[in-house]
Each structure stands twice: as structure tokens, then as C-alpha cells.
Amino acid sequence: MKRLDYLKWDEYFMGIALLSAQRSKDPNTTVGACIVSDDNKILSVGYNGMPIGCSDDDFPWEREGCALDTKYVYVCHAEMNAILNYTGTNMKGSKLYVTLFPCNECTKALIQKGIREIVYMSDKYGDSDAVKAAKRMFDSSGITYRAYEPIHRDIILSL
């Protein structure tokens, strides 16, 4: 008997990205990422958080104020963490599953590592200059990106 209700690859890998996001201590935005080889092997995962050795309790998580008093100059994004956590030698041709569309800075690193496709869950900052720049770079370099489309409606994957 053929089983028809199994998880498709997109659901599986986005689920891992969502689970990774739960490690984030950011009180406002949790993001997770999962990088997968072209033969559907997990290469690396990451979430948004402080760099190793920088305590989550000693650095700010604020969104407004003087730059040095906000999270933005300290936090390492999920995509960057996934790249930096990778212990292999080659990501060329891989795919990124991420819960939030990448910013322009992460996009540069994703392009340089040879990632060929981005599957994202949310594009809530799609009107920002950072995401517009990211999409322009992806388009220019031939990297495809698409919104995650759940197949099984009875499986709830959410941020």
C-alpha cells in the first residue's frame, strides 16, 4: 500500500527551519534557516542570535534607540549562522529554507556560497530597501526564490 500522507521535502525542511527558529532569544522576531544539498541532505541549520561568546543577557534586544543600544549591530542572522555553522567544504547548488526572506547582507553571503534556491515562509519586510536589494541581487545572479506553499493543510507550520 502506498502512503499518501507523508511529508514532502519542502514541508520537512521548512519544519526544521521553524524548529531552529525556536532557539532564538529575540523577543520580537525569531528566524530559522536550513541549508540542504541538491540530494536533500541537511548541510546546516541556524537561527538569529548573538555570536558565540556574546551572552544573550549582556547584549540588547531593543529595536529602537541609539544603534549601540539595539540588537541590529550585534545579532547574527539565521542564514549567516547556517553558513558559518557549516563544517563541509561546498554548498554549491544547495537550497536554503528560511522563515523570513533574507536581508541584503545575508544575500551576499548566500550568493558567494553558491546557494541556488531560496524557499521562504514570510516576506513581511518585502517593501524594505534591504529586501528589495536582496531580490535584485538574487535576480541578477540567477538564484531563484519562492514562497513556501504547504501541501498538507492538516500539518500546521507557523512562525
Q: Based on the residue annotation, tell me whether 62 is a catalytic residue of this protein.
A: no
Exposed e or buried b for every residue in 110-146, given b needs 16+ CB within 10 A?
A: bbebebbbbbbbbeeeeeeeebeebbebbeeeebebe
Beta strands 95-100; 32-36: pairing state:
antiparallel
The residue annotated as part of the active site, out of 62, 64, 79, 117, is: 79
CA distance to 86, 107, 115, per residue, from 118 (Å): 17, 10, 8
Is 122 in contact with 98 (CB distance < 8 Å)? Answer: no
Supply 63's cell numbers.
Answer: 529595536
Active-site residue list: 79
